[in-house]
Every structure is written in C-alpha cells, then in structure tokens.
C-alpha cells in the first residue's frame, strides 16, 4: 500500500471521528489499545458494571439476602429489564420478558407458535391444525436443532429453506416460521417486514431471532406486526458473557401464548404452590424458573449506556463504519486476496463485515496477535463486528491496514 493512500484514509478517519455524535459513548466502556471488532460475539464491558455487581453481591446478597427479592426488586427484574430492551427493538412496554438462553426461548416461542396457529385455524374453520414448520436453512445451528426438536414434539414436518425463498413454500399447512433477522456468517440482513407479511398472509405465525441485530439497527417489532421474537443480550447489548436472553410476545397474542415450559415463575400465583398450572397474564407467561439474578442485574446496569441514544443514530454510524472499512480494505488489500460476503446495499447489511480468504483461521490468529480482534468461521470466513457505541473510524482504518499487512 502507498504511504500517501494510508495517510489520506487516516486523515479521513480522524475527520469522521471528530464529527461522530456517538464518539463520547466510547469512554463508557472498558477498552484498551486493541481494535475490538468482535462485539457481534461478545460486547465490551461497560465500565460501571463491576461497581454495580459489587453492590449487588456485598449489599443485596451479602446483607439483605432473601429480602432482596422484594426490597431490591429482584422478583420483577425479568419484566423490568424487558421494558428497557423494548425501545431498542421497537416494542411497547409489557411485551418482553428477560430470562433463560436464546435456545430455550426459541423453543418456547416456536412450540407456542405452532399451538396458537392450530388453535386459530380450528377456531375459525373447524379443520385440523397445521403441520409444517419452516426454518431458515442458513440459521445458526442451535436454532436448527431446536426447530427439529419442536417439529418432533408437535408432529410437524420441518422445511428448511433460504429466507428469500420462504414465500414460495408457505401454504395452508404452514404453522410457524423461524427466521434470523441477519445471517450470522455473512451479515446479510433479511426482509423482516416483507417476510412477516408473507407469513401472516398464509395464516401462520413468525418467530424472529434478533441476536445479530438488536442494538445495532432499528427492528420495529410492533410496527411490523411480528408475533414472537427472541434474542441474546451479550452481543450489541453488551450484557456480558452468557447474559440472559429475552422473549417478545406481541400483546394481542399474550392471552393465547401456551408455553411448552410452564414453571412456577410463570404461574398466575407463583407462591400458591398449586398442583395445577394457571398461566400468568401478559409476557410473564414466558418466565419459567428462578431468574439468574447476578447476570440479570449486570445486564440491567449495562443497558445504562443506551440512555439518550437513538437507534437510528446507531444504524447511521453502523452503515458509515462498514462502508468505510470496506473502502479501506479495497484500498489496502491487493485485489483477489479477500472476497466480501457482506451485501453492499445498505438495506441488506447488518452491522458486520464478512470476508472470505484463504487460510482464514490462521489469518485471524495473526490479526489478534497484532491487536485486531475479530473472529473466524469455518471454513474460510473472517468476521468483523462493528458496534457503533464504541468502535471508531480510526479502528476501522487500522483493522483494514493490519489485515493488508498480515496478508502481505
């Protein structure tokens, strides 16, 4: 690469950072000199979270002990934190409950969707329920495993298909459709409004996995009439390793939401200890067992970094960052060394860039050694996640430059 070209791009990065309205957010995270582009796997630590956790452990657990379930608000944490996540995914309060893992919530949502689809069809037309589940064939493996298990449990046939081909397989037998908002390998963004409308036109219900979009771009769950959605909180929401996931149940569906995992926490009278189950009202039906309080409250504290932040501003910076990174890669990396798998069109791009190259696993190992952290997906994909709250344009330029030097 020429020094002149490098100087020009560094100067452009500096200028872009100087105009960045989200730049001040970077100081709210525990960062070092590393270029951290793996927030699409694990978000960086918000700097104030350790102090909050220390308070929880020493005072709430250490001194108040059992009293903290009421006095410190532990009992209501799942729905309280759900209401804090709600505006980040375009949902009104009272529709999101936090708890369990993404996988468990996918299972709850998908089985409940099949049950509701069958109930609705029988109620209207008096015919047998639907017996097909459509699943994103490119999905993260666990979603596929869960869908297969849900199909066996409900007596459905599983139909794996690429998201763009979903409308062509929908019909009178479709009960539920499980889709990813963004492809975890390539960063391709799928058409949530259009596919949701197509599923509804077929009389089925849709479950969206938001793991790779919540906190990176507007989702619009309420606006687009999404039935059910799930997502993790340890990526763009920065909740910490293994932080609890969330489940969204559209308000109109909540009276009919029949969870396959009823637990004492989702009972209408949890401390009544009755042998017969009676579901609680609202999104609380998505709860199962005792909440994992330490990670739950770490997540709640982590969400403070979103105070005063517009998701539209986050999306604008995300697109600007990925555009700039791709331009730097094009300027620095010799032609033919890498191939971008991430769509160029903004409407089809999430908040990561996936590059295919020979020996990608070894390339990523050497990048990490040089202070540029992304991740590798077999067999040949380098993934770089751009978290707008703390990634700078200077980070993007440096990552592309070090990538070129590593490949060279």
Instruction: Render pLDDT for 279-296 as a digit per residue (tens, 0 to 9).
Output: 999 999 999 999 999 999
The pLDDT value given to residue 299 = 98
**Residues assigned a catalytic role:** 140, 209, 234-235, 383
pLDDT in tens, the chain (408 residues): 567 688 999 999 999 999 999 999 999 999 999 999 999 999 999 999 999 999 999 999 999 999 999 999 999 999 999 999 999 999 999 999 999 999 999 999 999 999 999 987 444 443 457 999 999 999 999 999 999 999 999 999 999 999 999 999 999 999 999 999 999 999 999 999 999 999 999 999 999 999 999 999 999 999 999 999 999 999 999 999 999 999 999 999 999 999 999 999 999 999 999 999 999 999 999 999 999 999 999 999 999 999 999 999 999 999 999 999 999 999 999 999 999 999 999 999 999 999 999 999 999 999 999 999 999 999 999 999 999 999 999 999 999 999 999 998
Q: SS3 of 231, please?
A: strand
Contact of 1 with 401, CB cutoff 8 Å = yes
The pLDDT value given to residue 120 = 72
CA distance 181 to 212: 7
Quick one: which of 106, 179, 186 has its CA closest to 145? 106
Q: Are strands 352-356 and 339-340 parallel, antiparallel or unpaired?
A: antiparallel
For 199-209, b where at least 16 C-beta lie within 10 A, e where not — what string?
A: bbebbbbbbbb
**Topology (CATH) of 3-30+309-407:** 3.90.1150
Contact of 394 with 16, CB cutoff 8 Å = no
Q: SS3 of 96, please?
A: strand
Contact of 100 with 288, CB cutoff 8 Å = yes
The pLDDT value given to residue 89 = 98
pLDDT tens-digit series, residues 40-81: 999 999 999 999 999 999 999 999 999 999 999 999 999 999
Contact of 222 with 86, CB cutoff 8 Å = no
The pLDDT value given to residue 129 = 76
The pLDDT value given to residue 128 = 59
CA distance 327 to 308: 31
Contact of 254 with 283, CB cutoff 8 Å = yes
The pLDDT value given to residue 6 = 87
Domain boundaries, the chain: 3-30+309-407, 65-306
**Residue 208 has what DSSP assignment?**
E
Yes or no: domain 65-306 corresponds to CATH 3.40.640.10: yes
Element (H, E) at 169: helix 166-169
- In sequence order, the β-bridge partners of residue 180 are 209
């Amino acid at each position: 690469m020429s020094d002149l070209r490098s100087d020009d791009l560094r100067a452009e990065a500096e200028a872009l950072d100087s105009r960045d309205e989200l730049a001040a957010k970077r100081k709210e995270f525990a960062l070092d000199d590393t270029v951290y582009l793996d927030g699409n796997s694990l978000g960086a630590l918000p700097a104030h979270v350790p102090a909050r956790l220390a308070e929880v452990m020493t005072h709430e657990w250490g001194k108040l002990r059992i009293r903290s379930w009421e006095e410190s608000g532990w009992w209501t944490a799942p729905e309280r934190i759900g209401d804090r996540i709600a505006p980040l995914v375009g949902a009104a309060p009272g529709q999101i409950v936090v708890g369990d893992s993404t996988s468990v919530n996918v299972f709850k949502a998908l089985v409940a969707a099949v049950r509701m689809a069958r109930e609705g069809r029988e109620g209207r037309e008096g015919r047998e329920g639907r017996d097909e589940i459509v699943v994103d064939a490119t999905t993260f493996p666990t979603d596929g495993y869960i869908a297969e298990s849900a199909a066996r449990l409900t007596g459905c046939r599983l139909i794996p298909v690429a998201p763009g081909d979903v409308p062509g397989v929908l019909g009178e037998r479709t009960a539920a459709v499980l889709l990813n908002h963004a492809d975890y390998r390539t960063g391709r963004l799928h058409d949530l409004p259009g596919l949701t409308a197509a599923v509804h036109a077929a009389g089925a219900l849709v479950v969206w996995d938001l793991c790779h979009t919540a906190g990176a771009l507007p989702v619009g769950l309420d606006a687009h009439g999404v039935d059910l959605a799930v997502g993790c909180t340890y990526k763009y929401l920065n909740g910490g390793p293994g932080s609890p996931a969330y489940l969204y149940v559209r308000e109109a569906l909540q009276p009919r939401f029949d969870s396959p995992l009823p637990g004492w926490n989702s009972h209408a009278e949890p401390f009544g200890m009755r042998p017969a189950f009676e579901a609680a009202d609202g999104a609380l039906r998505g709860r199962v067992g005792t909440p994992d309080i330490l990670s739950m409250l770490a997540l709640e504290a982590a969400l403070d970094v979103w105070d005063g932040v517009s998701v539209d501003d986050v999306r604008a910076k995300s697109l600007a960052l990925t555009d700039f990174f791709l331009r730097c890669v094009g300027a620095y990396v010799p032609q033919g060394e890498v191939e971008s798998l991430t769509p160029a069109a903004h409407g089809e791009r999430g908040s990561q860039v996936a590059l295919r190259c020979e020996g990608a696993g070894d390339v990523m190992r050497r990048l990490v050694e040089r202070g540029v952290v992304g991740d590798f997906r077999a067999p040949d994909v380098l993934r770089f996640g751009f978290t707008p709250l703390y990634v700078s344009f200077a980070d993007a330029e440096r990552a592309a430059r070090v990538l070129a030097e590593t490949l060279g």
